[in-house]
Structure 1
């Protein structure tokens, strides 16, 4: 289906967002998918059927397409709406549970994700590991009826508010010749004994990142996600969901929209703004193509890496220009958005895989 086929859905979401903003339910934000935590807003989206859209109806979802979900998420992000509470659960956890989870795991978690009442985080990155997931040192030791987890995860967005997270751990001894083997994913409740969540504050004082320490945390065999030892394969398959969405190029869009709402500022040229709009239009089509591939269940990892790599550079460029252009704008809200964009700019090209790693993926995928 062409994007125009979803125009009524797009108009419906846009009208809802404008209504909520006019009512004072939220103010537009930068990085709203990461920093805009509002559980009430998430529940409202769940009530309208705009969460769990691709989850089958038998698990409390709505059985709709990835393309429809793309339209909804794009409109929410363009408005800078506060979607962080449900974002990781809806984007990444639900598809992984559908592909790798047991029927019991799906029945327990998917309906609440679709309602907007189940919040999740991701436990992949570790101290001193950068983007090298194969260097995972969190250990999973076999015990009677389950596993004992010990280790530390960092940059765990929303862990101080989430209910649970996926943990990638080494469940077998490291074989230096096969570093990607012997890894397993686990479902860990964040209120479980032995779990300690420590805040990581950004230099602007904001808090959405965390360090999560697992001190002999016991989980049962029913909390294994997928197959023991197949964690690497599962995690890499999840990255197409994490890297490909419109959040990878629209994090600063609310600032650009606010800045130009009443014409161009003195310092901003039509060519400068047009350059950003053109790149966003191209990224929209590229990301939409990934959604089309997800719907068809065909490989999308290469294009997802391209969306993330190009998109995060683009939204960073917007942040830098906003900081320069806003000097001539006497609007406190635009000033706030520009300041937030600049302060968050360093993280854009790190989270979800550094640009250097992504370039390697693209080069390898293209046969360079």
Structure 2
């Protein structure tokens, strides 16, 4: 079956998402915003998507999924991001934790976790970044020590999005000290309600609370909550990052700004410079959408498109920033309010190039692929 962006299945899915988001907007149940996949949290909206089969779309039906393709899922995520919908409650779990558990988890772990993601019941945060480590994900100090029946986790994570809402955490921890820092790492799923987990808010300049510090003090994790092979987590992490880096959220985080820019260009019909700038941005977006489609197609073919996803994230981040900069040359950016479209996007923009890997990390991945070509 052809699952290119223009197929009937994708068209029908887009229509369903547009209908749902229009209902919620007209009803005043959410206001579109930039960076909605990270900053706009509404568990009821996520559960509504789940009830309509629009979460866990690529998961097997036996685990509550829809058995659809990644290309079809891309059609849905594009529409949700274009609508600035409140999708943060399910985004991380649906995007990368479910696929990681399905690829590498035991049957018991799959049966425990995946249906809860599919129903919108499980809310995940990512325990990856650590203080003083920067973008060097392999410099993990958080440790997991084997004990009877499982593991004891001790350590400190930072910039943990929505940890204060999360029911579960994906955790990257060091289970042994090896000569290479990339060795001896393991992946876990941890209950955020477990004894010894402490969440501390990180409030941004607008007074909003999305990020957190999370400390773990002798937190017990049952043995079956390991994802994959103990000590061999790095390869799985790199694979998982292709799910994180290769989606539409890497180019559409500032889409509400682009909508305002298009409206302004319609009003300023004689501003050739603005129209030329907008035309260039739209052309770049078309290329980025094609890259998203190619990443999704590769995933449907059973591949982990690490380099392609890195290229998409690198180019997408630049696009997102340039959309915001384009709005600066109009009168629309004169509104300094934090809750304006421009204000929201501007405040979110410093994180665009950091989350999921800084530019230097992405360029290194791309260069290694070129060297092998």
**How would you bin the TM-score normalised by the shorter chain?**
over 0.9
State the partner residue of 2:275.
Answer: 270
Pair 1:234 & 2:239 matched: no
Q: What is the CA deviation profile of residues 316-338 of structure 1, one whole-angstrom value per residue up to 9, with x for unaligned ones?
A: 111222244243789x99x8111
Structure 1 residues 323-342: aligned runs within 5 Å: 323-327=328-332, 336-342=340-346
Structure 1 residues 61-76: aligned runs within 5 Å: 61-76=65-80
State the partner residue of 1:188.
Answer: 190
State the partner residue of 2:305.
Answer: 300
Residues 151 and 215 in structure 1, CA contact (< 8 A), matched pair in contact too = yes
State the partner residue of 1:251.
Answer: 253
Q: What is the CA deviation profile of residues 109-155 of structure 1, one whole-angstrom value per residue up to 9, with x for unaligned ones?
A: 21121112211011111111011121111111121221111110111
Residues 265 and 326 in structure 1, CA contact (< 8 A), matched pair in contact too = no
What SS class does the counterpart of residue 371 from structure 2 fall into? coil
Residues 196 and 212 in structure 1, CA contact (< 8 A), matched pair in contact too = yes
Q: What is the CA deviation profile of residues 307-366 of structure 1, one whole-angstrom value per residue up to 9, with x for unaligned ones?
A: 101101110111222244243789x99x81111111111110011000111011111111
What SS class does the counterpart of residue 200 from structure 1 fall into? strand
What SS class does the counterpart of residue 350 from structure 1 fall into? coil
Q: Please report how far the alpha carbon of residue 298 of structure 1 lies from its aligned counterpart in structure 2 after TM superposition.
A: 2.0
Residues 251 and 316 in structure 2, CA contact (< 8 A), matched pair in contact too = yes
Q: In structure 2, what is the Cα distance between the partners aligned to 1:347 and 1:230? A: 29
Pair 1:147 & 2:161 matched: no
Q: In structure 1, what is the Cα distance between the partners aligned to 2:295 and 2:262? A: 29
State the partner residue of 1:28.
Answer: 32
User: Unmatched 5+ residue regions in structure 2?
Assistant: none
Which of 348, 354, 357 aligns to 2:352? It is 348
Q: In structure 2, what is the Cα distance between the partners aligned to 1:16 and 1:218? A: 41
Q: Please report how far the alpha carbon of residue 160 of structure 1 lies from its aligned counterpart in structure 2 after TM superposition.
A: 0.6
After TM superposition, the score normalised by the length of structure 1 is 0.95
Q: In structure 2, what is the Cα distance between the partners aligned to 1:202 and 1:86? A: 22
Structure 1 runs (4+) greater than 4 angstroms displaced: 265-268
Which of 40, 43, 60 aligns to 1:39? It is 43
Q: In structure 2, what is the Cα distance between the partners aligned to 1:88 and 1:157? A: 9
Q: Call closer, same or farther: CA 1:322–1:262 in 2, change over 3 Å.
A: closer
Q: CA RMSD in A?
A: 1.9
State the partner residue of 1:92.
Answer: 96
Residues 54 and 63 in structure 1, CA contact (< 8 A), matched pair in contact too = yes
Q: Please report how far the alpha carbon of residue 263 of structure 1 lies from its aligned counterpart in structure 2 after TM superposition.
A: 4.5
State the partner residue of 2:81.
Answer: 77
What SS class does the counterpart of residue 28 from structure 1 fall into? coil
Which of 315, 318, 326 aligns to 1:313? It is 318
Q: In structure 1, what is the Cα distance between the partners aligned to 2:189 and 2:333? A: 50
State the partner residue of 1:224.
Answer: 226
User: Unmatched 5+ residue regions in structure 1?
Assistant: none
Q: Please report how far the alpha carbon of residue 237 of structure 1 lies from its aligned counterpart in structure 2 after TM superposition.
A: 0.8
State the partner residue of 1:362.
Answer: 366
Q: How many residues align?
A: 365
Q: Call closer, same or farther: CA 1:324–1:117 in 2, change over 3 Å.
A: farther
What SS class does the counterpart of residue 221 from structure 2 fall into? strand
Q: Please report how far the alpha carbon of residue 258 of structure 1 lies from its aligned counterpart in structure 2 after TM superposition.
A: 3.1
Q: In structure 1, what is the Cα distance between the partners aligned to 2:89 and 2:230? A: 29
Q: Please report how far the alpha carbon of residue 195 of structure 1 lies from its aligned counterpart in structure 2 after TM superposition.
A: 0.5
Q: In structure 2, what is the Cα distance between the partners aligned to 1:291 and 1:326? A: 38
Q: Call closer, same or farther: CA 1:328–1:203 in 2, change over 3 Å.
A: closer
Residues 33 and 82 in structure 1, CA contact (< 8 A), matched pair in contact too = yes
Residues 246 and 295 in structure 2, CA contact (< 8 A), matched pair in contact too = yes
Q: What is the CA deviation profile of residues 260-314 of structure 1, one whole-angstrom value per residue up to 9, with x for unaligned ones?
A: 2364455771011111111111100001100000001124111100110110111
Q: Please report how far the alpha carbon of residue 218 of structure 1 lies from its aligned counterpart in structure 2 after TM superposition.
A: 1.3
Residues 327 and 333 in structure 2, CA contact (< 8 A), matched pair in contact too = no
State the partner residue of 2:105.
Answer: 101
What SS class does the counterpart of residue 345 from structure 1 fall into? helix
